[in-house]
Amino acid sequence: MMQGNSVAGAGTKVERLQEHRQPYALTIGPADLKDALLKGWADFDAMPTHLFYLCLTYPIVTLIIARIYAGYEVLPLVFPLLAGYTLIGPLIAVGTYELSRRREAGLRVSRWDALEVVRSPAFGGIVALGLLLMLFYFIWLAAAWVLYAEIIGSLPGSVAGFIDTVLTTSAGLTLIIVGCGVGFVFAAIVFMLSVVSFPMILDRNVPVAVAIRTSIGAVLANPLTMGIWGLIVAATLLLGALPLFVGLAVVLPVLGHATWHLYRRVVAY
């Protein structure tokens, strides 16, 4: 009996050690990014969720367009509003992480399982990290408005007049350069905080602080590779947005699935 209790106690101790094992970042290369993208496409092909993303994207785009025609004062925020989508993209893609997690585990999966995130024990952490990203998003919008007010000053009287001011004047060129620079800083910070944080919280229900620390560690351990990943994300989002945002219905879920597989490549326990 004593020996049995000793074995059981040892087993429990091992389980506790495993539960408290700290995550750490691995070194990866461009080939891992290619593998993540291919697996992301395979997940999307097996579990297409483009209709979800159309329903998510188009009401926002329609609202922006309607607001422009109601009053041109919102025009200076159109680009920041859409560009800022990259800041909250990791939050939007949470459902695809869940689908990839289930498919990787060999479970039967339907596209509706993306909604099971709300029942996850990690949902509280996901919400907390999501609120942090939303905070960065609104700070970015405020910064963009301040930059416009300081550099351009006057509100646009028409769409054509706004485009002419931004593209053909020295003040407009200054706004583009400074705005893109500030936007890059916001994007870089959010990228470091969240590149693998959401799938990690969903997978292991780790505290938000641990997920953020590991995400930053993954970027610092792989600056070139993660920089390439950031460029891939930005470029594909831009391409997806060009044909009247229709492409985002495919780009967003594919990137979401690929991010799950990137997380599995770069984080170990």
pTM value is 0.81
- List the end-to-end C-alpha distance of the chain, in Å, as a whole number: 34
Q: How much of the chain is helix, strand and coil, in % rounded to 5?
A: 80, 0, 15
What average pLDDT does range 202-221 have in this prediction? 95
Q: What are 82-111's pLDDT values in tens digits? A: 777 778 888 888 989 999 999 999 888 887
Number of domains in the chain: 1
Residue 61 is predicted with a pLDDT of: 60
Q: Is residue 151 part of a domain?
A: yes
Between these two residues, 245 and 116, which has the higher pLDDT value? 116
Query: What is the total residue count of the chain?
Result: 269
List of E strands, 174-265 = none
Task: Please indicate, yes or no, if residue 223 is contained in any of the structural domains.
Answer: yes
The distance of Cα 251 from the centroid of its chain, to the nearest Å, equals: 12
Query: Whole-angstrom Cα distance, residue 262 to residue 265?
Result: 5
At 252 the pLDDT is 87
Residues 58-67: what's their mean pLDDT? 58
Question: Which has the closest alpha carbon to 264: 191, 203, 208, 220?
Answer: 203
Domain assignment present for residue 31? The answer is no
Q: What is the mean pLDDT of the chain?
A: 84
Q: According to DSSP H, which parts of 20-49 are helical? A: 30-46
- List pLDDT tens digits, range 120-140: 999 999 999 999 999 999 999
**Paired sense of beta strands 24-25 and 267-268, if any:** antiparallel
The whole-angstrom separation of Cα 202 and Cα 159 is: 43
Q: What is the pLDDT of residue 42?
A: 95
Range of the domain at 82: 39-268
- Please give the distance of CA 48 from its chain centroid, rounded to a whole number: 19
Determine the pLDDT at residue 17: 37
22: in domain: no
